[in-house]
């Protein structure tokens, strides 16, 4: 039996995923919307795969992915997201994900990805695979956000979502001076000058909903 944990804060998405997998006789699915409960569940029970959303209440999906990999290094995680594959896939794969899939993919593609990952493989779409080949064959200039660390990228996205320095500090449990330091690093690395420019860039680059 393949034991899967779905971690997504949208009930309709969880119901849809469970429905898709209902016809697979060898797959057993559990679910949670809470990232803290997700960590507790992977500590207490044995799973063959976690299907993880990138945006969760109170915690970045990327941070949760890293925490899960620290707790269970061999536990494969499939990222399922509304965000563009070309913007997020490589960052999540570098962080330890076994695959990345868009939520608008066909249902049969989800089953295919799950079975491939459970067998020890990796899953990426044809679009991401083509992008990887292109990167190997060309020396294309990196987009500004690709030079950022995962934490800097996370903070750029939060600014893009309209969060203030205080909001970000509270959400990430860090000090406001630390957020300001990250902001300064982001501006320097990307060549931007103002927070407004960061917000505009994040929206135009589809880094926020």
pLDDT by residue (tens digit) across 59-104? 788 889 999 999 999 999 999 988 777 678 888 888 899 999 988 8
Residue 82: per-residue pLDDT: 82
Cβ neighbourhood burial of 205 (10 Å; 0-12, 13-18, 19+): middle
Q: Where in the chain is the domain with CATH 3.40.50.2300?
A: 2-136
Q: Could you tell me where in the chain the CATH 1.10.10.10 domains are found?
A: 144-204
Q: How confident is the model at residue 208 (pLDDT cuts 50, 70, 90)?
A: confident
Q: How many CA atoms lie within 13 A of 202 on its CB side?
A: 24
Q: Phi, psi (5° rounding) for residue 101? A: -140, 140
* Residue written as token pair 């060549």: 191
Task: Give the model's confidence band at 55: pLDDT under 50 very low, under 70 low, under 90 confident, else very high.
Answer: confident
The domain defined by 144-204 carries CATH number 3.20.20.140: no
2-136 domain in CATH 3.30.70.20? no
Rounded to the nearest integer, the mean pLDDT of the chain is 88
């Amino acid at each position: 039996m393949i034991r899967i944990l779905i971690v997504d804060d949208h009930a309709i998405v969880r119901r849809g995923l469970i429905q898709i997998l209902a016809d697979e006789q060898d797959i057993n699915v559990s679910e949670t919307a809470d990232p803290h409960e997700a960590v507790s569940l992977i500590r207490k029970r044995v799973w063959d795969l976690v299907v993880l959303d990138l945006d969760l209440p109170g915690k970045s999906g990327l941070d949760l992915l890293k925490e899960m990999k620290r707790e269970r290094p061999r536990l494969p995680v499939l990222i399922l997201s509304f965000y563009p594959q070309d913007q997020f896939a490589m960052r999540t794969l570098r962080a330890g994900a076994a695959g990345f899939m868009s939520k608008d993919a066909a249902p049969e593609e989800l089953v295919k990805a799950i079975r491939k990952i459970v067998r020890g493989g990796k899953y990426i779409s044809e679009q991401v695979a083509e992008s990887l080949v292109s990167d190997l064959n060309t020396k294309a200039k990196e987009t500004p956000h690709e030079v950022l660390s995962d934490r800097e990228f996370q903070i750029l996205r939060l600014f893009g979502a309209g969060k203030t320095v205080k909001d970000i500090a509270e959400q990430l449990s860090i000090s406001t001076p630390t957020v300001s330091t990250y902001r300064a690093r982001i501006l320097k690395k990307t060549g931007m000058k103002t927070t407004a420019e960061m917000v505009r860039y994040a929206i135009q680059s589809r880094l926020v909903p």
